[in-house]
Amino acid sequence: MSKSVAIQMDPIHLIDVNGDSSLMLALEAQRRGHELFHYLPGGLSLKNGKVSARGNPLAVRYDASDHFTMGAEEVVDLSTADVVLMRQDPPFDMSYITATHILEHIHPETLVVNDPASVRNAPEKLFVTHFEGVMPETLITTDRREIMAFREEHKDIIVKPLFGNGGAGVFHIKPDDENLTSLLEMFTLMFREPVIIQRYLPEVRQGDKRIILVDGVAVGGINRVPADGEARANMHVGGVALKTNLTKREREICDIIGPTLKEQGLIFVGIDVIGDYMTEINVTSPTGIQEMNRFDGSSIETLIWDAIEARL
């Protein structure tokens, strides 16, 4: 049966057709006969307890030169939609948090994917701290003395903003690096939040795996190998995606976190694993569908929509 699907995302004309996961979700929804409606986060409104969005009916195609068609602009009562896909990119800032509060007014009568309250309560670098035995040694603080003591203990560390994304602001501070104090001063000027410090994992040179879980079950992964001279493995900064199989330890990590993801309505999740440790749980707008499909011959968007329709 046809459903109405609203997609809250960034401008669709700016996406990378050959790598975008939201496009794959839209294509699969359309293939199933569902009607699509696209709106920007700025088009979301809450008026007298009613949630609406200003946007456009949408049709999509897998064509790099012509991947979408928009209908005439209209305002839609989102309580009349069957599904809202919350797919705008981070940063996870107050604008993002406000959107989760607004969408909470219609969920679960209108199924919001992922659950907006759970998204709000699961910032990537904080959510992972709730699971024992899966993280490298980690410190979250603004206390300089704690940071310096952590560095003294572990020598080789990673410093990054707590609510950053896409590898932005990630620094590898080696034992002989004299820039840590200046870096912390810069972070203090830029952010009010604590920073996150982790023991550097040299295994990152062999790759930083992105593993996708659908309704709490691991369905695939890719290995992202950093470029020479780069500490980050994110593909938009030169990381190379390679085919991979999940190790026993990686499946163990997925088994540890999977039941909580399912219980909290986090249907589409991407985790990052370096060596034997998970560093992030991505619940806001996970990516990686197209790369995994190419390597494995899979159709992860189909699995995601199967999980969504099962909840409907």
> Token digits for 133?
């035995």
Q: Which of 56, 223, 232, 250 is catalytic?
A: 232
- H helices within the chain, ranges in order? 21-31, 94-103, 116-120, 124-127, 144-154, 180-190, 248-263, 289-296, 300-311
160 is catalytic: yes
144 is catalytic: no
251 is catalytic: no
Question: Parallel, antiparallel, or unpaired: how do β-strands 157-161 and 68-70 relate?
Answer: unpaired
Of the candidates 234, 272, 267, the residue with the CA atom closest to the CA atom of residue 253:
272
Whether 60 and 67 have beta carbons less than 8 Å apart is answered as yes
Q: CA-to-CA distance for 5 and 19, rounded, in angstroms?
A: 21
> Token digits for 59?
């049709």
Q: Which of 28, 115, 215, 272 is catalytic?
A: 272
Q: CA-to-CA distance for 277 and 299, rounded, in angstroms?
A: 27
Q: Which of 20, 215, 280, 291 is catalytic?
A: 280
Q: ω before 48 within 30° of 0 (cis)?
A: no
232 is catalytic: yes
Q: Which of 125, 151, 199, 209 is catalytic?
A: 125
Q: Which of 82, 234, 282, 291 is catalytic?
A: 282
Q: Which of 224, 234, 250, 301 is catalytic?
A: 224
210 is catalytic: yes
280 is catalytic: yes
Q: Which of 160, 199, 208, 209 is catalytic?
A: 160
203 is catalytic: no
Q: Which of 210, 234, 291, 301 is catalytic?
A: 210
- List active site positions: 125, 160, 210, 224, 232, 272, 280, 282
